[in-house]
Each structure stands twice: as C-alpha cells, then as structure tokens.
Amino acid sequence: MKKILAVLFVMFALNLPARAAFYGAMVEEDAYISASSQFEKKDYSAAAKEYAAFLEKFPESKYKAPSLLKMAELSENIEDAMKYYNMVINDFPGTPYEAEAVYGLAKLFYAGGDYKKARVYFNIIITKFPSMVWVEESYYMLMLCAGAEHDTAIFEKAYDEYNSKGYFSFRSRVNMAYAGYLFGSGKYDRAIVMYRELIDKTQGKDGNIYMPLVYLNASLAAKKINDDKSAEMLENDLKFKYPDSPEAKGGKPAEEGKFSQAQPTAAPIKPSGHKAAAKAVIKEFYTMQIGAYSNKKLCDLTAEKLIGKKYEVFVKKDGKFYKISVGKFATKQEAENFAPGMAKKEKLKSWLIKQARE
C-alpha cells in the first residue's frame, strides 16, 4: 500500500508543471475574455483597464496583438493610440495584425490632418497587404488625402487603380469623390454624368452617399453648361426628396478649383446656459481640435467631461472618426492664445488649430 501511495505521489508531482501550465492558460484566457466582454458590452472604461492589466500580467500572451489593437482603439489621445499601433507593427510583422495597425495609423494621421503621412500608410496597405479587407477603403482614403492636398496626379492614379482591379464595395464612395473632384476642377460636363449615375444607381438607398449634395452639385453643374432644364429638374427633386436638408434650403456647394467629396458633419455639442451660446453666431471661425476617436462612446464621454467644465465643445464626424474641438474664435491668433493654457490645465499632449464653419 505504501508503495502504491508513493507511486501516486510521484506521478502527481511530475504532473504539477503541466497542471500549472493548464490552469495558467485558463486564467490567461479568462482574463482576455473578460476584457473583451467589457468591450462588447460597451463599458469602454472597464475594458481599457482590463486590457491594460492583461498586457501587464501576460506580456507574451497569444492574445497580445489583439489586446494592443483594442488598447489603441480605446486610447483617449492620438499619441497613446499610435504607441500601441507601433508596438503591433514592430512585434507582429507580416501578419494581419500588422495590417490592422498600419490601417489604424493611417486613419489617425488622416483624422489629424497629416495627409502626407496618412498616404504613406494607406499605400502600405495597398502594396503590402492587397488581400486584406482594408484595401478598398485605403484607395478611397488615398483619394481623399490627395484631394485635401490638391494633388491631381495621385488622385487620378488612385481612382484608375481602384477601377482597374474590379473592386466594388467602395465604388459609390469612390465615384462620389471623383465626381466632386471633376466639379471642383470645373469639368462640369463630366461631373454631371457621374452625379446622374450616382442618382440612378443608388436611388438614395446607399447610406454612404449624402444625396442632397449630389443633387445640389448636379444642378449647379447643369447650370454651368447652360442646361437650365436639367438644373431646374434636379433642384425640384432635391427640394421634394430632401426638403429639410441644408442643400435644399440654399446650402453652399463645392467651390471651383477645390476638391469636393465632403459629407455633412454632426451638429456641435453646446453646453446649456454657457455664456458663449449668447454670443453672435460666427459663420467661419477657428477652434482647437484636441482629439480624434474611432470609438463614439469614448468621444462622448470626453465631450461630456469638458462640457461639465464649462467649455464650448464641438464634435464632428469625419469618416469613421469623431473629432472633438473646443472653443470658437474669430481669428486664428485668438485660438492660438487660448490653446496653451487650456492644454496645460487639462494636461493635453497635443492639439491642432483648425478653421471651421457653422
């Protein structure tokens, strides 16, 4: 009997490392699942804390890359998000995780107005990861970057390459951007053809295309080529189908010589009772952009905190990002005078002074 017990004890002792590894893996997986569950429940503050704790406790986990990507998405400032994306790029080269991180960086640079750097990263997706799901959107975003920089050569190249590859998921958005480019370049005869195609093919059912702008620019393009009958029909369709849109009420079209692919943005958030609300409305103004979020909940939480501190806060949707700006100033100098003090008080690491419009 003693021999049997001795043998059993030895077998148990020999299995201890395997048991420890097994239960350790369970703890690791449970911790990752818990953080992911918080994210799915949209408790983003709790998710961020749990992902951070997970990465600290399991630095070599098989879930390291997806956790870093989630931390980038949940970051409250651009610098932290970039740090996490770069960690993924450095630690997981050649993987789908790298592709997602590169794409995330590209969108961050675009949201921050650094279109040159954004183009670099969108091109990496196109050239290094052509089979990834982000490649079509990267072509589209590349066009938007080129449009913002008024680089017609890159714009045309991206448009031609997109169509030559037979892509379709972003076709309506790519065509909308190209129609805006033609309109802004004064090529009204070609622009109206593309706008009409968008009207006929989407029938107003594509949520990615802002149809009031299509009708408005199409009617204006018709006027430019002296097709007054078509212009009148398009204007009537605009007012009938979208009577409450700013375009139907006399909204401003794309300007000649400028690319036009912009979609309307969300209305600014204003604190009730704020003294700035009583000021005269400034149609064009300068503001301090303090952040860009892919996660709307985090954006809203940040905006609410600032509103609670009596700041005048604006939230603008730009593609998949939500940008937060503070203050409304008549001149750029006023905004620049305000920004350093606000940044110091709120411990902001970076900001941008942007020109905006009501």
Q: What is the pLDDT of residue 18?
A: 45
DSSP class of residue 312?
-
Listed in sequence order, the residues at least 6 apart from 146 whose beta carbon sits closer than 8 Å to its beta carbon are 115, 119, 152, 154, 155, 158
Nearest to 342 by CA among 306, 308, 304: 306
Q: What is the pLDDT of residue 329?
A: 78
What the block records as the tokens of 198 is: 């968008």
Nearest to 165 by CA among 138, 196, 136: 136
Report residue 281: phi and psi, to 5°. -70, 130
DSSP class of residue 326?
E
In percent, the amount of the chain with pLDDT more than 70 equals 81
CA angle 175/112/313 to nearest 5° reads: 105
Which amino acid type is present at position 193? V
Helix axis angle, 228-241 relative to 211-224, nearest 10°? 160
How many Cβ atoms sit within 10 Å of the Cβ of residue 245?
A: 18
pLDDT beneath 50, residues of the chain: 5, 7-8, 10-13, 16, 18-24, 254-258, 260-282
What pLDDT, in 10s, does the model give residues 54-85? 999 999 999 999 999 999 988 877 888 899 99
Task: Say how far apart CA 151 and CA 128 lie, in whole Å.
Answer: 23
Residue 218's Cα: distance from chain center in Å? 27
Q: What is the pLDDT of residue 7?
A: 47
**The residue to which tokens 């920089």 are assigned:** 149
pTM over 0.85: no
Residue 135's Cα: distance from chain center in Å? 15
